[in-house]
Structure 1
Amino acid sequence: MILACQNINKAFGTDVILKNASFHMEDREKAAVVGINGAGKSTLLKIIIGEMEADSGEVVLAKGKTIGYLAQHQDLNSDHTIYQELLTVKQDVIDLETRIREIEAQMKELSGTALDMALEQYTRMNHEFELKNGYAYKSEVVGVLKGLGFEEEEFEKHVNKLSGGQKTRVSLGKLLLSHPDLIMLDEPTNHLDMNSIAWLETFLLNYDGAVLVVAHDRYFLNRIATKIIEIDAGEVTTFQGNYSDYAAKKSQLREARMHAWLNQQREIKHQEEVIQKLKSFNREKSIKRAESREKMLDKMDILEKPTEVRSEMHITLEPKVVSGNDVLTVEGLSKSFGSQTLFTDLNFDVKRGERVALIGNNGTGKTTILKILNGLLEADSGSFTLGSKVHIGYYDQEHHVLHPEKTLFEEISDAYPDLDNTTIRSTLAAFLFTGDDVFKRISELSGGERGRVSLAKLMLSEANFLILDEPTNHLDIVSKEILEQALNRYTGTVLYVSHDRYFINTTATRILDLTGGQLVNYIGNYDYYLEKHDILTPKTQNPELPEAKAAEPESAGKLDWKQQKEEQARQRKRENDFKKTEAEIFDLETRDGEIDQLLTQESVYTNVAECMKLHKEKEAIAARLEILYEQWEALAQ
């Protein structure tokens, strides 16, 4: 065992965060802490690392073991370049290498006993150098930097000039290179693109120490976690398995607890009714029996009512008007910022009812595309066309659609002046803003709270085409699942940018991958994308021959696009044929049932001509249904 937390208690005023929290971790175990925003996940990590004191309880770290901790927010100050900053972790190896070189130089001047002693020291230090991976420490640093999404030309950037997200990645790189016995990470995927997250997953899976991570990325948790530590209303419960295992077990437990609570409530009500009845008899024996039952009730351990499933945010998305089938057509779209070309000659369309995820590495231009479609940026060339009766609802990850100086109530009432006060308050309450919360200014809200206000405005818009930029940022897992369900029920059209692979896998019907300045189309969810990625992604051009090879990825991308468009058209035709076949089967089976009802009526079964006519119709229906059933089965496959 490397770590044990025993009966940890922590409260802030009257707000109890942790109640007798206990769990342990074994060497090399990979565990995740989950819970809603504000549950106390970060607090627990800070107590373990010693940044915060528990009110009571004990944290025990195995003797001689080390902990490395990465907080959510990093304020890294350094005059070093990115590469130099990561090298500081290897200072002991660098010092050892310097000392080895010094001894090599000294040995040239030594002889006899002094040479023997120096040689012995040289051998010992070389062995230590090898154990510390000294011969490969530079390539290890480069590998971590590239894995975390830094290009080689960025290695010489100074740390003090980096963004907050880049500083967090540098801090993460330093932590991984330090090889502590226990790595603790608080939301490590927030500032990583998909490739970097996949690299981090592989690194942690193969790491020979233990890992304790707080994350809302369920795909990440499914890949690395073998144990889930849940914080729910201050209570800490441990579940074996990954996130999906935990979610299934949690659902079963909640159902069992609800069943037990309902049974107990029924029993209590029954006993109270019996007690009242016995007392109403007003006889000595009946009163004694009533008192006996009352004592039994008093001794009963009353179960707490389990929290309702998803009793948090309530979101309903429904368009007011149905759009035309062609929702969006983009032709020849290009955009550059100075000498940096993001994309050229992008062509794609979106049909009614599709949920299209736009993915790609950081800096490829995904958010730029959404801003162009919303009229917030102008394209350098190309055009886009919205279809008939298309009404856009836009969710901006930076929440520029909100007004910092307004209160929540004003934000909603000014955007939707026809709404009465009760409707506005009810809407805000559905997104967890109650009482005086509605008079908070937007500027006072956290990122998660601003996200909920933006979602509230989106719901009220009744738009039939939702354009969403990182809609799951700052949402806890429960809120993400609520949003996923709302989008899957939504009858309009969705185009969104997201790094949340679980969210994409659950909601997307199609994926557009922005890579190499071009789009590659995948007709399916994230699992399908992973399956087909290597086949459909244009091959990277040879950097040594930029002129000769520049056209190759473009032509490959266009070819893939054409193939995918043809496949998409075939898929739509199959879906339409499937729906038509199902509809005809339903109509014929309904008519067949109607004929059976008619044949039971005396006015019909006594009329020979009418009977023969109906029997012939039934035979025709049976023959047609036989064909349709085979057709349906083939289309279903």
Structure 2
Amino acid sequence: MILACQNISKTFGTTQILQSVSFHVNEREKAAIVGINGAGKSTLLKIIMGELSPDEGEIILSKGSTIGYLSQHQNLSSDHTLHEEMLTVKQDIINLDMQIRALELDMKNAEGDRLNQLLSTYTRLMHDFETQNGYAYQSEVTGILKGLGFSEEDFSKKVNTLSGGQKTRIALGKLLLSKPDIILLDEPTNHLDLVSIAWLETFLLNYNGAVIVVAHDRYFLDKVVSKVIELDHTKATTFEGNYSAYVDKKAMVQNALLKQYLNQQKEIKHQEEVIAKLRSFNREKSIKRAESREKLLNKIERVDKPTEHTQMHFSLEPRVISGNDVLSITGLSKSYGNLKLFSDLSFDIKRGEKVAIIGNNGTGKTTILKIINGLVAADAGEIKLGSKVQIGFYDQEHQVLDPDKTLFDELQDTYPHLDNTTIRNILAAFLFTEDDVFKRIKDISGGERGRVSLAKLMLSEANLLILDEPTNHLDIVSKEILENALNHYSGTVLYVSHDRYFINKTATRIMDLTEQTLLNYIGNYDYYLEKKPEIELAYLGKSKDNQSVSTANKTGAFGFPATTLSSIASPDLGSDTDSISDNKLTWQQQKEEQARQRKRKSDLKKTEDEIHLIETRNEEIDLLLTKEEIYTDVSKLIELNNEKKENEARLEELLEQWELLAGEE
């Protein structure tokens, strides 16, 4: 064990964020911390780093262990170049190298004891240099920079001239280069393209230290982690396995808890009915039995109902069905000055397709979407929309939102035909309630702006959705809701995303923007990974023989069918037979149980009827015993008293029998 969190609690104001959170991480273990936005993931990382103090609990770090942290937001400021900034991490080795070079010069002119002394120092420093892998530090720096998506031309750029995302990548590179025993990463994939994310996955999998990562990238978590720590309603639960294993186990746990809760509620209701029935018999012994049962019922440790998070609810449905040909693009080109993004792109999109455009950062993916939407002018090319096509656009920068408007006004001004109640209901479906609807767009978070944009998208009733990074700023639960909405959407979708899990769940086709052109894959992301080497080889082969490859870029030119005959598995007759047998057995057991319950209910009713008859007869006897002609007749008096004694004995038997039958439910 290299790190342990023991009973960590943290409150901000009156809001409890973490309560008695405990877990541990072993050496070289890769763990994820997951939870909805606001669950306390980043807070927990800051407590581990000592940037925040817990209200209760302690962080235990293995003696002598080093720890490094990449926060979500970096404010890196430096006059260094990228390469120089990375080298600051290796300053100790650089200093050691300089000492060794200086010693080499000194030894040229030294003699005798002085030389021996210098040689001894030289040997010791060389050993330290080799131990610290000094010969490889330059290649390490280059490898990490290239892995994080920087070209050699970028190495000489000043850090202060970089974008926020690029600075975050430099901060990540410095952290990886420093090789602490524990790495804490808060959303490390946010500013990485798909190639860089894949590189980071491999780096972390092979990393000799422990890693704790907070990320909404589910594909990344599946690849990297072997433990998931879930923060939910201030508590922590640990699940062994990757993200997909966590999802499965979480569902099993939730189902088991819900079943346990429902079973207990059913038993409580049953016991309450038994108690009420025993009291209704209005006999001293039945009342005592009722009181005894009530005491036992009050001592039961009640199972809490499993908590569920409030989720946004929405569906997408086009108002008008488009023609089969939705979008046709021919000869599309775009450059910014000397920077050529792409040239002579051509592709078609048909009704019902869910098409993802992927590619490295800066290749022009978002530009393609903006050109289609008329927000950016193309240098060349033709864009044709099909019959009855209506576009709904979601942009990652949310420029379709007016920052000075309230959420309510944003929807009302866009859709003036909607009444106030409808607008409030729509916003409530996206988790904006009460006074939240009167907040200004500029005052809400990126995730909240994303939800407002999704609300507008839903109301648009468009039949062609064009989405630019729709999962940015969404937590995992919200991503899954969006995936479900898109998978049930009967219209057409064209989107740009670096969320591989999202692509895998929603895409029916992938277009990879690479080397200024598009490669087409008829399938989801897993299919893309499988066919990528084959298709790129086909593309590169064609590019060698024929310099113009744009004519081959129409839909399907480099695509392969997503399914083959080999993927159609033959039926497993043995397992089917077992299944049929099991079903028969289950059916037979169900029939026997149904018959048992019918008999129990019948016996219960007969018992209750007999109890009622005897109690009615006892009431008649009590009335008879008050009459003079009875209590003056000794033989009649004895006869009635004997009958009542027999009735009381029988009632005791019947009450026990009734209680036994009632308890068998």
Give the TM-score taking structure 2 as reference length: 0.82
- Alignment check: 8 A CA contact 1:523 1:564 kept: no
Deviation at 1:541, TM superposition (A): 8.4
Q: CA RMSD in A?
A: 2.0
The equivalent residue for 1:601 is: none
Deviation at 1:148, TM superposition (A): 0.3
Question: Which amino acid counterpart does residue 144 of structure 1 have in structure 2?
Answer: I
The equivalent residue for 2:557 is: 564
- The yes-or-no answer on 1:109 pairing with 2:82 is no
Q: Distance in 1 between matches of 2:525 and 2:551?
A: 21
Question: Which amino acid counterpart does residue 263 of structure 1 have in structure 2?
Answer: N
Question: Which amino acid counterpart does residue 255 of structure 2 have in structure 1?
Answer: E
Question: Which amino acid counterpart does residue 446 of structure 1 have in structure 2?
Answer: S
Deviation at 1:296, TM superposition (A): 1.7
Q: Distance in 1 between matches of 2:343 and 2:274?
A: 79
Matches within 5 A, 1:271-350: 271-308=271-308, 311-350=310-349
- Alignment check: 8 A CA contact 1:520 1:557 kept: no
The equivalent residue for 2:442 is: 443
Q: Distance in 1 between matches of 2:282 and 2:394?
A: 68
- Alignment check: 8 A CA contact 2:28 2:208 kept: yes
Deviation at 1:194, TM superposition (A): 0.3
Matches within 5 A, 1:494-513: 494-513=493-512
User: Which deviates further from its counterpart, 22-31 or 263-272?
Assistant: 263-272
- Alignment check: 8 A CA contact 1:82 1:170 kept: yes
The equivalent residue for 1:634 is: none
Q: Distance in 2 between matches of 1:429 and 1:386?
A: 34
**Counterpart secondary structure, 2:156:** coil
Deviation at 1:105, TM superposition (A): 1.1
The equivalent residue for 2:88 is: 88
Q: Is the alpha carbon distance of 1:429 and 1:254 closer, same or farther for their aligned partners in structure 2, counting shifts above 3 Å?
A: same
Unpaired runs of 5+ in structure 2?
A: 566-665
The equivalent residue for 1:616 is: none
The equivalent residue for 2:360 is: 361
The equivalent residue for 2:65 is: 65
Q: Distance in 2 between matches of 1:385 and 1:406?
A: 34
Question: Which amino acid counterpart does residue 254 of structure 2 have in structure 1?
Answer: R
Q: Distance in 1 between matches of 2:222 and 2:105?
A: 53
Q: Distance in 2 between matches of 1:532 and 1:567?
A: 8
Q: Distance in 1 between matches of 2:343 and 2:68?
A: 44
**How many matched pairs?**
565
- The yes-or-no answer on 1:126 pairing with 2:126 is yes
- Alignment check: 8 A CA contact 1:407 1:438 kept: yes
- Alignment check: 8 A CA contact 1:506 1:525 kept: yes
The equivalent residue for 1:33 is: 33
Deviations along 1:264-290, whole A, 9 cap, x unmatched?
A: 111111122222233333333333222
Question: Which amino acid counterpart does residue 153 of structure 1 have in structure 2?
Answer: E
Q: Is the alpha carbon distance of 1:288 and 1:553 closer, same or farther for their aligned partners in structure 2, counting shifts above 3 Å?
A: farther
Give % identity: 67
Question: Which amino acid counterpart does residue 475 of structure 1 have in structure 2?
Answer: L
- Alignment check: 8 A CA contact 1:9 1:20 kept: yes
Deviation at 1:291, TM superposition (A): 2.2
**Counterpart secondary structure, 1:537:** helix
Q: Is the alpha carbon distance of 1:162 and 1:541 closer, same or farther for their aligned partners in structure 2, counting shifts above 3 Å?
A: farther
Deviations along 1:174-210, whole A, 9 cap, x unmatched?
A: 0000000001100000000000000000100010111
**Counterpart secondary structure, 2:285:** helix
- The yes-or-no answer on 1:469 pairing with 2:468 is yes
Q: Is the alpha carbon distance of 1:444 and 1:56 closer, same or farther for their aligned partners in structure 2, counting shifts above 3 Å?
A: same
Matches within 5 A, 1:511-550: 511-537=510-536
**Counterpart secondary structure, 1:363:** coil
- Alignment check: 8 A CA contact 2:518 2:553 kept: no
The equivalent residue for 2:215 is: 215
Q: Is the alpha carbon distance of 1:527 and 1:339 closer, same or farther for their aligned partners in structure 2, counting shifts above 3 Å?
A: same
Q: Distance in 1 between matches of 2:355 and 2:546?
A: 23
- Alignment check: 8 A CA contact 1:3 1:26 kept: yes
The equivalent residue for 1:623 is: none
Deviations along 1:410-452, whole A, 9 cap, x unmatched?
A: 1111111111111111111111111111111111110000000
- Alignment check: 8 A CA contact 1:148 1:200 kept: yes
- Alignment check: 8 A CA contact 2:345 2:550 kept: no
Deviations along 1:259-318, whole A, 9 cap, x unmatched?
A: 11111111111122222233333333333222222222221111111134x741112011
Question: Which amino acid counterpart does residue 557 of structure 2 have in structure 1?
Answer: Q
- The yes-or-no answer on 1:17 pairing with 2:17 is yes
Q: Distance in 2 between matches of 1:501 and 1:412?
A: 31
The equivalent residue for 1:249 is: 249
Q: Distance in 2 between matches of 1:313 and 1:440?
A: 18
**Counterpart secondary structure, 2:21:** strand
Q: Distance in 2 between matches of 1:287 and 1:422?
A: 53
Q: Distance in 2 between matches of 1:290 and 1:159?
A: 78
Q: Distance in 1 between matches of 2:43 and 2:220?
A: 21
Deviations along 1:138-183, whole A, 9 cap, x unmatched?
A: 1110110000001111111111111110110000000000000001
Question: Which amino acid counterpart does residue 334 of structure 1 have in structure 2?
Answer: S
Q: Distance in 1 between matches of 2:532 and 2:158?
A: 35
Q: Distance in 2 between matches of 1:396 and 1:357?
A: 15
Q: Is the alpha carbon distance of 1:446 and 1:85 closer, same or farther for their aligned partners in structure 2, counting shifts above 3 Å?
A: same
**Counterpart secondary structure, 2:109:** coil
The equivalent residue for 2:593 is: none
Q: Is the alpha carbon distance of 1:52 and 1:133 closer, same or farther for their aligned partners in structure 2, counting shifts above 3 Å?
A: same
Q: Is the alpha carbon distance of 1:539 and 1:114 closer, same or farther for their aligned partners in structure 2, counting shifts above 3 Å?
A: farther
Matches within 5 A, 1:231-270: 231-270=231-270
Q: Distance in 2 between matches of 1:479 and 1:104?
A: 62
The equivalent residue for 1:419 is: 418
User: Which deviates further from its counterpart, 124-133 or 286-295?
Assistant: 286-295
Matches within 5 A, 1:126-145: 126-145=126-145
- Alignment check: 8 A CA contact 1:541 1:553 kept: no
Q: Distance in 1 between matches of 2:95 and 2:113?
A: 26
Q: Is the alpha carbon distance of 1:306 and 1:179 closer, same or farther for their aligned partners in structure 2, counting shifts above 3 Å?
A: same
Deviation at 1:538, TM superposition (A): 6.0
Question: Which amino acid counterpart does residue 295 of structure 1 have in structure 2?
Answer: K
**Counterpart secondary structure, 1:79:** coil
The equivalent residue for 1:43 is: 43
**Structure with larger Rg:** 2
Question: Which amino acid counterpart does residue 70 of structure 2 have in structure 1?
Answer: L
**Counterpart secondary structure, 2:557:** helix
Question: Which amino acid counterpart does residue 372 of structure 1 have in structure 2?
Answer: I
Q: Distance in 2 between matches of 1:432 and 1:566?
A: 41
Q: Distance in 1 between matches of 2:546 and 2:227?
A: 43
Q: Distance in 1 between matches of 2:523 and 2:223?
A: 21
- Alignment check: 8 A CA contact 2:93 2:134 kept: yes
**Counterpart secondary structure, 1:306:** coil
Question: Which amino acid counterpart does residue 57 of structure 2 have in structure 1?
Answer: G
Q: Distance in 1 between matches of 2:314 and 2:339?
A: 39
Deviations along 1:29-52, whole A, 9 cap, x unmatched?
A: 011111111101101100000000
- The yes-or-no answer on 1:352 pairing with 2:351 is yes
Q: Distance in 2 between matches of 1:14 and 1:278?
A: 47
Q: Distance in 2 between matches of 1:541 and 1:116?
A: 60
Deviations along 1:470-524, whole A, 9 cap, x unmatched?
A: 0000011111111111111111100000000011011100000001110100000
Deviation at 1:540, TM superposition (A): 9.6
Q: Distance in 1 between matches of 2:490 and 2:21?
A: 44
Deviation at 1:338, TM superposition (A): 1.2
Q: Distance in 1 between matches of 2:369 and 2:425?
A: 30
**Counterpart secondary structure, 1:230:** strand
- Alignment check: 8 A CA contact 1:2 1:61 kept: yes
Q: Distance in 2 between matches of 1:487 and 1:9?
A: 39
The equivalent residue for 1:491 is: 490
Deviation at 1:108, TM superposition (A): 1.7
Question: Which amino acid counterpart does residue 90 of structure 2 have in structure 1?
Answer: K
